[in-house]
Amino acid sequence: MMRWLFRLGGGLLLALVLLFAGFRVAAWWREGPVPTPPQMVMVATGYGKVAVQLSGPETGRRVVLLHGTAAWSGFWRDVSAHLAAQGWRVIAVDTPPFGWSERDPQARYDRVSQADRLAQLLRATGGPAIIVGHSFGAGAAVELAAGKDAALVDGLILVDAALGTLDPPQGRGAAAATLSLAPLAQAVISASVTNPPLTGPLLRSFLARKDAADPWLATLKEPMRREGTTAAYAAWLPNLLIVNDGALSRTRAGLKGIAAPSAIIWGAADTVTPPAQGKELERLLNLRSAIYLAGVGHIPHIEDPKGFQTALDRSLIAVTRGK
């Protein structure tokens, strides 16, 4: 009996390994050389070239848009057009390894490195700006506002910020350590994030208004066709799960020390970063405005475009008041 169970277990394990290997081979097959879209502008930094989309008058007040996990600047398309029409100089960033930016061979995707990359980009494109950070993108935004280059942040607007548990214990955590193994991380990414049949279900899992996903699926998939996407996402993955890497943005003291006027916009029906996390940020930041959008989940700017744009307009007025 035991021998039979061991054989069964071994067979199931082999089948699982072959399944994940199949996903990885499929990723290699579908990813290849693709041209960078003509609207992307490549900005040189010490971490490689960062792709951005620029819109609005060059003389306008600057606002930077940072996307969430696996997204890219294309997800800000409607927001960028809205802001540009009001005279803002909009810089929508592809934060590596996502979008069309160069991937870092050294995989420097931790929050401190992302903030430094952003600081270099700001200097290269004209200096300080108001930073709008959504989800994972809020980590770099907060780190920049809390760190040595805080003077580059004229204002901070956080949208359903995925900052994780504040004041966590020291260490990387078991999940991050496990997924530092490249073959395992690549298997996980190829079976999930970069697996085309799962793109729709994964995006919908972030939303309260599920039908909002469909118009954005092609946009989400577009840069995933690039060569090396699965490997690059896998190299980034442990940073999503790190418990404590010493970043100021992971501490209450770091958030309390941010001088920049701040605002938050949150989906009231967000189950990924629940509104309770926004409430905690209200108590920690130099807050000027807090807006919760009813019936909206983790990606307000695609779930309720008009509601989000109105909330963003109000937030921008709040953080620029007196400046």
Reported as a single tens digit per residue, the pLDDT across 273-315 is 999 999 999 999 999 999 999 999 999 999 999 999 999 999 9
> What pLDDT shows up at residue 186?
81
For residue 293, give every residue at least 6 positions away whose Cβ sits within 8 Å of its Cβ, in sequence order, or none. 265, 266, 267, 268, 300, 304, 307, 308, 311
Spans of the chain below 70 pLDDT: 1-29, 171-181, 242-243, 322-323
Cα–Cα distance for residue pair 42/96, rounded to 1 Å: 12
> What pLDDT shows up at residue 4?
41
The DSSP-derived string for 291-313 is EEETT--S-HHHHSHHHHHHHHH
Query: Long-range contacts of range 41-44, CB-CB < 8 Å, 24 or more positions apart?
Result: 42/102, 43/121, 43/124, 43/125, 44/124
Nearest to 232 by CA among 277, 185, 282: 185
Q: Where are the beta strands (DSSP E) in the chain?
A: 41-45, 48-55, 62-66, 89-93, 129-134, 153-159, 262-267, 287-293
In 65-179, which residue ranges form alpha helices assigned H by DSSP? Answer: 77-85, 111-125, 137-146, 174-178
Cα–Cα distance for residue pair 183/185, rounded to 1 Å: 6
Domain boundaries along the sequence of the chain: 41-168+246-320
288 sits in the region (left: phi over 0; alpha: psi -120 to 50; else beta) called alpha
Cα–Cα distance for residue pair 190/25, rounded to 1 Å: 9
Count of beta carbons in the 10 Å neighbourhood of residue 103: 21
Tokens at residue 217, please? 């699926």
Paired residues of 290 in beta bridges: 264
Tokens at residue 193, please? 């994030």
Paired residues of 133 in beta bridges: 66, 158
- Domain 41-168+246-320: CATH architecture, name and number where available: 3-Layer(aba) Sandwich (3.40)
